[in-house]
A and B are shown apart, each in its own frame.
Chain A
């Protein structure tokens, strides 16, 4: 009997002294993973479902565009800059072209400017619609994808009808825009530079885009589970967001009314009425909702621009071989993903001496280690998705 109790006491003490050995698991999310938007790799230490010390590893998509552009002429560079952020290819061309024009002190005809503006906003709509499609998918809802992509297809069709390209239009020329295919330099008649039905069809398409925004709001915003997954998740206070250099909808969702379309003068945005959409909490839900409302605003801008599109030339007078006078400039623009800027240094030759690209996604992604500290594994995906970056834009 005595032995028995001894044994029992011994065993119970042994159990107390044994500690459960737990150890963090290193989880490599990516570079091949369904939700990393390309080839991002996250190295996360996870303890059960909770992650800490999440480090993004980038560079899998580096294509050396800054270096490549040093050995190319200005017209050739537009073909590579629109591959930086491939879901809004057209919008990438604008700040580069404007930078070159600024150094050349070219006056771009208003009609060309309006066409640029319309197409840029179309690129914004198509980029935001991709986000509308992919974000619910990352939360597990497959159906909004089809609603969003259906409208995006129509917008891309319109973009294609003007530029000939869906993703990589390469439509801008220094001093204006490319004469539409088939028209050529012999085309002098005003109003035939754009496809005949383009203007009315765009008006229609923008109505439909606004309608699909309502549908998406019904489908996604009316869903309790989506709200539970996104409200209060990944909150970026405005100071933190600004300190990491966030821009675009990611910053505006935190409450900063920072929109380069209102600040800079790279395209004639002053002519139009539109609101800068801001959020209040800076959580995933706000980032989703800001983008949704920005689609509506973009549709409004396009409709106004089409109503008031001026007639005139598509091209300013430029020499046959474009040489940009020596000098340096920085032009930034409000791209769908955020602030995109080109720091152009020219030494007077037909190609840039140095072209530094400031891309929005790179800075937006830099908040990840801060944002993902101590969150659950499903929230990693929710927060990462809500930043809406494109790896081509990160690595360039």
Chain B
């Protein structure tokens, strides 16, 4: 039905690479805008406000598009004291790490950019890259508030990488594979999402990913009432936009990892086999938005922790609980 030369054309390595790149390049702003819009509207709802109303004519749907255009129009300000190359590279690194995360998320059977055999490992390794970008931003800005923010982010990374990694080990043990699509398939085979047995791991994962995202209640690196804007203080214009997009895209990707590992990915009971391929992406998106909603809900409900309380939470609570969870999971895996 499809002429052969077209199939040939699209199966060419470079063409398919270009196609995938284009898809990702479109996906990041779209995801960022969708989640950003959800955030401003939901926060308005939670605070008995209306939120953006006029942009675009209805419900302010064009608000973030207008904001994006505004950011691009702004002058690119780099402080004199800044370390210019690092200052410029930091937002890109943050955004790149987010894009690279999208690679291993399965949106349907076979619908994955690259099914790595060490998908989980890759995802966790890449997700910590963004914190390096944040540290770079804080260090290179030549601003004391930025420096404190950047160092707080580094401390947070060290503290919360561990629970994040330990939390997913349970799922990996249960599935017996580190491939992201393999884990989803294992859940489909088992007939239940792993959250039923890995609820501890799931909870720790969500808390730790909030800390990775530096969102309230773990937004000490930004902490606008203390550090003005933390590592973002000196950023403006499209560089700020990069951070902004990366924040929401990161929220998406970390939620998507949680969905894959704990909530069964594109699996949903009652969806016939033939439809899964078509409905998969929508199921994933639906679950991701559910998790994103929870994160937004947290943000507008909780205040922020203090730096030492954050460290206490990670080292004294999350890590021991995660270790116990791993031991219990391994025990049941061997016994049953």
Q: Could you list which residues of chain A lie within 8 angstroms of chain B, going by C-beta atoms?
A: 25, 27, 33-35, 46, 49, 136-143, 145-147, 150, 223, 225-226, 228-229, 376-381
Contacts and interface: CB of A to CB of B under 8 A. Distances in A.
A27 B43 CA distance: 33
Given A27-B144, A49-B308, A142-B300, 14 more contacts: A34-B228, A35-B225, A140-B217, A141-B216, A142-B47, A223-B303, A225-B302, A228-B305, A228-B309, A376-B307, A376-B308, A377-B227, A378-B223, A381-B225
Main secondary structure of the interface of B (DSSP, over half): loop
B301 A35 contact: no
B46 interface: yes
Nearest to A141: B303
Contact of A229 (B46, B47, B306): B306
A49 B309 contact: no
A381 B224 CA distance: 11
Contact of A137 (B48, B219, B225, B301): B225
B226 A378 contact: yes
B207 interface: no
Contacts of B322: none
6 contacts: A49-B148, A138-B225, A143-B46, A143-B300, A228-B306, A378-B223
A143 B301 contact: yes
B88 interface: no
Given A140-B217, A146-B49, A25 B144 contact: yes
Contacts of B305: 225, 228-229
A11 B159 CA distance: 31
A146 B47 contact: yes
B302 A140 contact: yes
A33 B226 CA distance: 8
Contacts of B226: 35, 377-378, 380-381
A225 B48 contact: no
Contacts of A136: 303
A147 B227 CA distance: 25
Contact of B303 (A35, A49, A147, A226): A226
Contacts of B46: 143
Nearest to B304: A140
B326 interface: no
Contacts of A379: 306
B319 interface: no
Q: Which of A46, A49, A380 has the most C-beta atoms of chain B within 10 angstroms of its own C-beta?
A: A49
A139 B48 contact: no
Contacts of A25: 144
B220 interface: yes
A141 B306 contact: no
Given A377-B226, A381-B225, A139 B304 contact: yes
Given A27-B144, A34-B224, A381-B226, A141 B302 contact: yes
A229 B223 CA distance: 14
Contacts of B148: 27, 46, 49, 377
B178 to A, nearest CB: 35
Contacts of B300: 142-143
